[in-house]
Every structure is written in C-alpha cells, then in structure tokens.
Chains A and B, each alone.
Chain A
Amino acid sequence: MENHKLSISKINKLFKDKELKPSELYDEVFERAASTESIIHGHLTLFQEENIQKALESNTRYEKGEHLGPLDGIPIAIKDNINISGHVTSCSSKMLANYVSPYDATVITKLKKEGVLFTGKTNLDEFAMGSSTENSAFGPTKNPWDPSRVPGGSSGGSAAVVSAGSAIASLGSDTGGSIRQPASFCGVVGFKPTYGTVSRYGLIAFASSLDQIGPITNNVEDAKLIFNSISGHDPKDATSLIATKTEQPNLNKAKIGIIKELMEDGISEDAKEEVYKVAKLMEAEGHEIVEVSLPLTKMSISIYYLIAPAECSANLSRFDGVRYGARVSGNTSSEMMELTRAEGFGPEVKKRILLGTYALSAGYYDAYYGQALKARAMMKKEFTDIYKQVDYVISPTTPSDPFKFGEKSDNQLEMYMSDLCTIPANLVGMPAISIPTGLSSQGLPLSVQIMSPANTDNTLLDFSQTLQSLVSFIDKPILNRTEK
C-alpha cells in the first residue's frame, strides 16, 4: 500500500475508476499515522473516528459519479493555528489548549465544499513562532528523515506528516518561512502564495502583514491543486486581493537570477551546490542563468524581527483569560490578565511580545519600527526592479540541512538565521516555493527556493513543475524506508 505517495490527480483517477475507495485511502493514512506518530508526533489531534462517516460519504459520491472535484476524499492535515469549527485550535500553546473554535476558517470552508477529509491538526511552534517546533507547548515534532533532527518550523507538524505519509497533503502558514523551511527539512514541497491571494480569515494571526496560508505537498502539481482551491477573494479579509490581470513571467527560455547575497557566508556548501546543480539543469533546458544582487536581503532578518514582533505584540493581546482560553484567577482583573499571560505563554512568545512592545513604544517607534517599515518598502522596490530584469530568482530554501534538537535553541541568532533565505518573500509579499532537489552529505534533504513577482503564483507553480521533473527527487525518509 503506497497510495499515500501518489499524486492527488492519480488518486482521483483511481477513485473515479473505482480501483480505490476514499475510505481505503483514509484507512491507509491512519495506518501510517499509527506506525509513525509515536515517533514523529506530527499530529496534535487525529480525527480518524469522527471523519470515517465523511470518508464513506465520499465513497458513495464516487460510486454515483457525483464527486465534488479532484480533492474529494483526499485526507489533508491542518496546522493547528487554522480554525476548524468544533475542534480545538491550540496554536501549540497552553493558552489555547482547550479552546474550541466556533467557526471555520475560510480555507476550511473551501476545502469542506470540495469533500476534503481532515486527518487532524498538526503541531507547530507556539503561535507559529519558531523554526524547529521546539517551541510547541506539547512537545516537538521529529524529522521523519532522522528523528534526532528537527522537522523545521513553525509548520513542522504539517511538513512531517506529509513526509511520513499520514496525510496526502497539509496546510501550513508562512510568516517568515514557516511553510518552506520545514518542507525543505522534510523533503517535501512547500508553497507560500502572494500575500492576499489566500484568505487569512480564521488563521490565528502571528504577524498579520506577513502571514499567508499555503500547501505542503509531495509534489508541485498537488500544491497547485490545493492552492487553487483555497485561494480567491474573501470579503471577510480586507487584505484579500481581488484578481487583476498581471504580466506573467516566461515559462520557456526564462531568465533566472541566482541571488548573490544568499550564496555567501552562512550558507552551507551543500545548499549552494543544490542551487548550482539546478541552475545547470535549467541551462540545459534553454533557460538563461544570471547572478542578481538584492543587497537588502542581508537586512531581512533585522527588518523581520522588528515588524513581526511588533504586530504579534498587538495580535496576542486578546489572550487575556477574559473571554476564552486559559484563565488564572487573580485578585483584580488586571492581575488575572497578568497571571494568565505569564502562565499561558511560553518563553519564545513572551520574548517576541516584549521585543514588539519595545519597538512600538513612545520614543523608540521611529528608531525601530518606523525604520523597519521604510527598509521593507525599499526592499519591495528592490524586488520589483529585479523582476524587470529576470523572470524568477532562486536561492537555497535553508542555509543548511536539518539540524539536531537543541543544536540551535541555545543560540537564538543562529536559529533566526535559518530563515534568512525565506523571510524576503514575506517582507515583499511575493510568492515563493521550496522544492526538494537532493540530499546533503549527511543524506538529509535539501531544497531550492524559486520566487516570482506578486500575483504570478500559477506561473511560478507551472515553472516549478518543470524543475521538479528535471531533478526527479525520489528519495524517501528513513521512516518509509525502514518500514519496507
């Protein structure tokens, strides 16, 4: 039984040809979960029992030829910062450990309409703040390629479960690389769409101007399928874009820029090697490879660590024990709020709230947050200008292959540096995809990131599909190999 590694369109064909039933695939992924979850801890909750009925309903639809679309009956895992009505949305925080959402996120409403079966909610760094899932209040997720290593983060659970086969695909959220970095660490595809193409309604905000929901999948075509099903204007999200005609980059004979600043110090030789390898394959296909300079990418971590904490300091204010979530009693209402927040939030979250509060404080705003906004605007211009010269830019997704647990948790700066290559796309709001291309000298997955101008998501996905077929990455994580 290896159906869980097939592409969604192949599965859909099997369903339609009555060679496979949704309930059979459903059982298969939960069997995968049964044999892998105890090792990787990718899911925080599994919906097996409660969704079996939905799987049987999907069976019936295919039997009658009335299936809802290509995603009907596909088991998909959801990062636990996206609300599903009637289920806990914990954000991997003690604060929301028992918080049951009374409503569906817009992406969930859309997937439900297509007959998607949710496998459960996946682990993350608390409130999506982190790069390793070590900040989860419910214990870390392990990398299916090597359980002594991190799966990346913050969508570590979502990446690990796709890699391990306990879901066909998953949704993650990406604020500074939280989809792409774990996808890279787990050897799967991760796509962060243009800011505003996927509604954020129902995604528990970390940094509102950077957050974007996107798919984590086994291949690029699955990513495209899910992206097109969850995207579209949503009146409930004022930052949601209304589709406009945008000039698209070339698919054939494209000009591809390797970002000079992301091929320098701090990037491992293995990671650079992958980019050169891909460049050569592309060149052989008739594309043109050039080196481009985006000087401000070097400042992206500094800019990010002012803007994201500033926004999160306000976004997380609502967790005060008054209306929902954890509550620690106090003698006065303010004491109750203080104790609740002291008890409910973990250390990384507190650190970022403090950082953001400081950056926004009277007398410091101009020097910190104000400067960061200006630098961000300049960076956006830098990218817009570069896309007048090239169709796409590429870089490694991560500076290195997956690191070991504890390896970077004592060195915060090094931990933050692991998002160096992914943060720029969030700051400029443009699409970026991470595609696994090979293994490091240690036998761990490495990926290349491709970026394109805003609102060219489908073209980027089509282009990535060509790249994917060129590299033909077929290696599998250790869990899958040992099982065989």
Chain B
Amino acid sequence: MNIIPTIGMETHVELKTNSKMFCRCYVLDTDLPNESLCPTCLGLPGSLPAPNKKAIEFITLLALSTNCSITNEGMFHRKNYFYPDLPKNYQISQFDLPVGTEGSLEIVVDGEFETVEIERVHMEEDTGKSTHIGSGRIDSATSTHLDFNRAGIPLVEVVTKPLIKSSKEAVAYIEELRQLVIDLNISEGKLEKGNLRFDANISVAYEGDKELGTKVEIKNMNSLKSLEKAIEYEISRQTKMLKSKENIIQETRHWDEKKEVTSSMRSKEGSADYRYFSDPDIPNMILSEDFVNTIKATIPVLPSEKRKVFMDSGLSIEDSNNLGKSSNWIGEFYIQVSEITKDSKASFNFITGELQGQLRKLELLSLPNWVTAKNLSEIIILVNNDKISFTSAKEILTKLIEEKLEPEEYAVSNNLIQENDIDEIGKIVLEVIDSNEEVIIRISDGEDKLIGFLVGQIIKLSKGKVNPSVAKELLLKEINS
C-alpha cells in the first residue's frame, strides 16, 4: 500500500505598516538593537495596547484576496506563555474569531493549477528577537541578548488546511502567498529578512486510511530550498517509521540547515496550555460591511488574475505564473509587445530572458524611456522573420538600452541582416564541404556533433549573415545526397 504525506502550512507575514501593531513606535529596518521601543511594546507596567487601523486594513485585504469569509465581530485574545523575548509573557493574538476563515488560494505546481485551502487568517503581534550566545538554545547559552525592535510588529498568520500533498506543492504555495502579499503591497515579502516565516505540519498515513497520521511540526526553515528539503526529509523519516511500525511522536522538530536533518525540539504531549482568553484591554473588533466593501474596492490585480491575462495572450500556465512574479510593468510591457508581435512565446522569452537579464546586469529597475514596446517588438519580429540571428538581436537590444535607435535601420547599417537566399547559402555550404573532406567522412561514420562545427564554419565564412538553421538544413541535404 502507498504511504501518503499530508502537509499543513502556518505562515507568518510581517506587515509593512509604518508603526507597530499596538503602539505608535516606528517599524524600523535596522541592525541596531532596541532602537524603537515604548512602554507598550516593552510591556512596561501600566501600558496598554491601542490597535493599528492600517494593520487591520491590510489583513482584511489579505483575507479578502484569499477568498476568506470575514468575521464581522472579531476579537483579540491573549496567548499565555513565558519566554524572555515576549515582553508581557502573553502574545496578543486571535483565537476563535479570526479576521478571515475558510478561504482558498490558487497555486501552480508543475504547470498545473492546484487549490490550497486556507483555514484561517488572523492578526497578532510579533515577539522580540533572542540571540543566544555560546549555543543555539536558550538553556545552554552562556547569555542571551534581547532586541525588542521587532516586538509588536503586526503579523498575519495564514494557516492552511492539512491538504497539501508534497514539498513541491508547499513551496508553490509559499511562492504564491509571497507574490500575493507583494502585489497587495502589505509586506516586503522578503524571506531572507524574515518577512515571511513558515512552519510545516507533516504526517504520513497509508493511502485510504480514514484518519491522518500523527502530526509533527517542523520549524526553522529559512528558505524555500530548506522548506523543500525539510519536508522531504521528514516525509521519508516518517515513512520509514510507519513501515517498520515505529511510534511517531507528536512533537516539534527543528530543521538543521547544515546537517539537513530534523531533530526533536520538544514533545507536544507535555506542551503548553496557552490559556487563551479575550483580551480585556481591547474592545471587540467590528469590521462593518462598509469597511469590508471599502477594502474590497482597493484590491489590485491579483497574481491569479495576472496569470489569466497572460494565459489569454497565449502563454502556458507555467510561463504565465513565472511572468507574474516579475514587476507589474514587465507584465504590462509583455502584453503590449505580444499584441504587436502576435507571438506570445517569443515575446515572453525575449522579455524575461534577454531584456530582464540585461536590466539585471546593468542594475536598472526600469527601461530607458526610448525603449518602447514598438521597437522591442521590431527586434523580435526581425528574429521571427529570420532577418537577423538571435545573437544579433541581443546585440541590437544592448545597443538599444544604451541609446535611442531604430532596430531595423541599425541591423541594416551594421550588416546584421541574414542571408536567407538558398542559392547564396548553397554556394558557401559547398565551399565549406569542399575544404572539410575529412570532417564529412567522420560525420558519415556517425560523429553527428561535428555538424555543429561545420555550421559554425559556414556562419564564419558568411561573416555571420547566414541563418544557421537554413545553413544546417542545406548542409545535411548535401551530406546525405
């Protein structure tokens, strides 16, 4: 019988509000510790939380964009546990009345659409940051340094239902969520900065079993790569245990980035009872229909909608998905170009491959204003009509980014127009065959890779003006005749 893994994801998204969740301290991007503090985010005696309206708008935007139902009268709860970087020794979070419930998110896995079901989207405050000196863990550290800059930054926790089937799907889900929060402009979405932090709940069971296996929570995955590896490691660990009828313990395990293994952090059985109760310092959160409608009206084009536009232009699901990850102006530029060239794939390849590659190399964030959809399309059409080689197209593009020019004029005046005349190319082919008799014999003996060498000779002799595919075609014809 097959063993089937089941994965649920819990993701914390750090919102990019100006101030913290319950006080007006700035959200700072700094390495200097304890720079942005006040009585409230430091949990000083007598301080009180005053919720940040912008953060509530942001989470509502995210909940609506993940098709959640909005809880019209929500509540903040206190989650009680002791830890030195938690200033009040309780975290203000949400419990049974989160902002959003029962949502879904469309993702792309291996060029196919899948749907991830969202259980809840709730608001909470971040904790401070502990740096353990001399050890990775607090109880074996020689000292622990506490930085409370992060304490109180608004976090949205997005929890999926345990219906994810593979590490690939989990990675695709995080990629989609990341793109979504970036497009909604509610988070920087930078994994390396901890703007998005995720834990995975993994269990395995025999196919057809009615009940899920014992859930194990994996923490400390800091990149998509480690997410994928950790899930795969954990699935194989649990699968082996299930096969050999070993008891899988419900626990939290820590992903070790260096050793690429998970190891036990703490057993869930003796775990904390968080003693949730509604926070008496904060009145119920009323999200009126008017408020929700106002937020709904601000939803921008979502990643799934962008994908649809790109697919309608003729791109595959995969290409559409990838294009959606670029800046919005790239997508818009692509649409203009593909409408002119009438070749979506070539437009996509040229824009995402060549154009974006060059911009990255030059560290440019936008196009010079003379690079228009029209003149970029002209280059693509020249290639498509076999008038110039791809190499020439790249050269023209490089020039075009440097200075204003007309691509076709440039190609002509720089002698880049390809020879497509079969008679002319035929002459050169024969010339090359004549001067490479030995090579021809070896090709006849099966050394196919030498064909490329001869094509190269033909192009060289024509000073680059011959269309390589035509040259190859003619060459093969001659050899085989």
Contacts and interface: CB of A to CB of B under 8 A. Distances in A.
Interface of A: 81-83, 89, 91, 96, 99, 101-103, 105, 200-205, 207-209, 235-239, 310-311, 313-314, 317-320, 322-324, 332-334, 337, 357, 360-362, 365, 369
B82 interface: yes
Nearest to A369: B277
A201 B282 CA distance: 13
Given A102-B44, A333-B138, A237 B277 contact: no
A91 B44 CA distance: 13
B312 interface: no
B281 interface: yes
A323 B84 CA distance: 9
Given A313-B275, A332-B139, 9 more contacts: A101-B45, A103-B39, A204-B46, A207-B280, A237-B48, A314-B275, A318-B89, A322-B146, A361-B273
Given A103-B39, A332-B138, A361-B273, A317 B46 contact: no
A83 B144 CA distance: 29
Interface string B363-399: 0000000000000000000000000000000000000
Contact of B82 (A200, A208, A237, A334): A334
B44 A208 contact: no
A105 B46 contact: yes
Question: Which of A103, A105, A369 has most B Cβ within 10 Å?
Answer: A103
Contacts of B45: 83, 89, 91, 96, 99, 101, 204-205, 318-319, 324
B213 interface: no
A91 B45 CA distance: 10
Contacts of A201: 46-48
A239 B281 contact: yes
Nearest to A317: B89
Nearest to B45: A204
Contacts of A317: 80, 82, 88-90
B43 interface: yes
B307 interface: no
Contacts of B426: none
18 contacts: A81-B46, A89-B45, A96-B45, A102-B44, A103-B39, A201-B48, A203-B46, A238-B49, A238-B282, A314-B78, A317-B80, A318-B45, A323-B87, A332-B138, A357-B275, A360-B80, A360-B276, A365-B277
Contacts of B90: 314, 317
Contacts of B47: 201-202
Nearest to A320: B89
A324 B88 CA distance: 12
Contacts of B146: 322-323
Top 7 A-B pairs, shortest CB-CB distance:
A317-B89, A209-B280, A208-B280, A360-B275, A204-B45, A202-B46, A362-B273
Given A238-B283, A317-B82, A101 B44 contact: yes
B42 to A, nearest CB: 7
Given A102-B39, A334-B82, A314 B46 contact: no
Contact of A235 (B50, B144, B273): B50
A369 B84 CA distance: 27
